[in-house]
Amino acid sequence: MAMRNATQQVVRALEPSLTRSLHASPGSKKIVGVFYKGGEYAGQNPNFVGCVENALGIRSWLESQGHQYIVTDDKDGPNCELEKHIADAHVLITTPFHPAYVSADRIRRGKNLELLLTAGIGSDHIELPAAAAAGLTVAEVTGSNTVSVAEDQLMRILVLMRNFLPGHHQAISGEWDLAGIAHRAYDLEGKTVGTVGAGRIGKLLLQRLKPFGCNLLYHDRLRVDAALEEELGAAFEEDLDAMLPKCDVVVLNMPLTEKTKGMFNKEKIAKMKKGVIIVNNARGAIMDTQAVADACKSGHIAGYGGDVWYPQPAPKEHPWRYMPNNAMTPHISGTTIDGQLRYAAGVKDMLERYFKGQDFPEPNYIVKEGKLASQYQ
């Protein structure tokens, strides 16, 4: 709380001196995009627009209007490609899937920066208080991959609940040991599933879980309206610590902030029932990395699945790679082909509005006129 208040005081103190416009300054712009490499797969699907090679499908459009568009995957270290362009870039497009960490130092050196766009959802790789204090606009493509992530969460719940991965490993290794799978395979029907966070993704997950006949719970700082709550068939739990012991499955659906960083530590995990399944497609840093690995090893966590790590890309020695009963993947849930097309279209729409001096859709703003969106405060 003290850190948040201090940040707000700094932002308020700087507001009168903000000089960077909410809209584009006149003339040609230098736009830098940081995405993951497509490599040999870049040419296999024309809709695979989220990679470096296909650059969100907006290169021709930008260059036809006289703008410069630099795209790279090289984002780390003092001599990386991003560092060569940050000083004179007007717009920086980044992504949660291959995050270019936009520190206060990078913001300070980006003297021409006006706009930071996230191709996708989740802008915690940007030092948001520093962006606010510098007068930058930060926006993301709200809603672009909510369906993608909610579907992925449901998949991981089922994979872990049914003990699918050991069975698959048997199939590809020539083994046949039914007991090795069946001794910890369960039906989802009748289980209690709780989501920590009931925003866009959390609501979509609850909708998809309802036909499975689960007991659905949710915790959020804001209660959904009564009609939607009834439609979802989910009960509100005001006290997170009271909800956790009730759940057979806990799904994380909150943003990474100073308040939520490391929130699920050893003590919080101990409040969950023994044999809990946890699915985290939110952010890896919400969890205490070693506490999760230890709880998986002891069996207190029966299964942990997700696609988010800290840091990203995850180093080879990251303990989540090797802990038992994990359903981990690289950060892929929100970058399906359908998700890519939606967030590419959203980025193009915001760039077009930026060039014309028009406002963005209000839900897209993460930082506007020196103020952070409520979920990051």
Q: What is the DSSP string of 281-318?
A: -S-GGGB-HHHHHHHHHHTSEEEEEES--SSSSPPTT-
Q: Which fold has domain 185-324?
A: Rossmann fold (3.40.50)
Q: What is the pLDDT of residue 20?
A: 56
121 is known to lie in a ligand binding site? yes
Cβ burial of 269 (10 Å; 0-12, 13-18, 19+) is buried
299 is known to lie in a ligand binding site? no
pLDDT in tens, 229-249: 999 999 999 999 999 999 999
- Count of beta carbons in the 10 Å neighbourhood of residue 232: 20
pLDDT in tens, 166-179: 999 999 999 999 99
Q: What is the pLDDT of residue 56?
A: 98
The pLDDT of 262-269, averaged and rounded, is 98
Q: CA-to-CA distance for 138 and 346, rounded, in angstroms?
A: 14
Q: What is the pLDDT of residue 376?
A: 84
Per CATH, the number for 30-144+336-372 is 3.40.50.720
pTM, two decimal places: 0.91
Q: CA-to-CA distance for 241 and 273, rounded, in angstroms?
A: 11
Q: What is the pLDDT of residue 23?
A: 65
Ranking 18-22, 120-124, 288-292 by mean pLDDT, the lowest is: 18-22
Q: CA-to-CA distance for 25 and 27, rounded, in angstroms?
A: 7
pLDDT in tens, 131-159: 999 999 999 999 999 999 999 999 999 99
Q: What is the pLDDT of residue 266?
A: 98
Q: CA-to-CA distance for 105 and 80, rounded, in angstroms?
A: 15
341 is known to lie in a ligand binding site? no
pLDDT in tens, 187-231: 999 999 999 999 999 999 999 999 999 999 999 999 999 999 999
Cα→Cα distances 38→22, 48, 339, Å: 33, 8, 16
pLDDT in tens, 310-325: 999 999 999 999 999 9
Q: CA-to-CA distance for 153 and 233, rounded, in angstroms?
A: 18
Q: CA-to-CA distance for 38 and 103, rounded, in angstroms?
A: 26
Q: CA-to-CA distance for 69 and 55, rounded, in angstroms?
A: 9
Active site residues: 145, 283, 312, 331
Q: CA-to-CA distance for 238 and 99, rounded, in angstroms?
A: 33
Q: CA-to-CA distance for 49 and 35, rounded, in angstroms?
A: 10
Q: Which long-range contacts (CB under 8 A, 24 or more apart) does 54-58 make?
A: 56/93, 56/119, 56/343, 56/344, 56/347, 56/348, 57/344, 57/348, 58/344, 58/347, 58/348, 58/351
Q: CA-to-CA distance for 140 and 360, rounded, in angstroms?
A: 10
The sign of the dihedral angle between the CA atoms of 128, 132, 134, 140 is: positive
Asked if pLDDT for residue 24 goes beyond 80, the answer is no
Work out the pLDDT band at 76, boundaries 50, 70, 90: very high
The sign of the dihedral angle between the CA atoms of 222, 256, 141, 65 is: positive
Q: What is the pLDDT of residue 15?
A: 45
pLDDT in tens, 87-126: 999 999 999 999 999 999 999 999 999 999 999 999 999 9
Is the CB of residue 346 less than 8 Å from the CB of residue 144? yes
Given strand 365-368, what is the order of strands in its sheet?
Answer: 68-72, 30-34, 91-94, 115-118, 137-140, 365-368, 371-372
- Quickly tell me which residue has 């859709």 as its tokens: 361
pLDDT in tens, 269-281: 999 999 999 999 9
307 is known to lie in a ligand binding site? yes
| Amino acid type, 179 | A
Residue range(s) of every CATH 3.40.50.720 domain in the chain: 30-144+336-372, 185-324
98 is known to lie in a ligand binding site? no
Asked if pLDDT for residue 1 goes beyond 60, the answer is no
Q: CA-to-CA distance for 361 and 353, rounded, in angstroms?
A: 10
Q: What is the pLDDT of residue 219?
A: 98
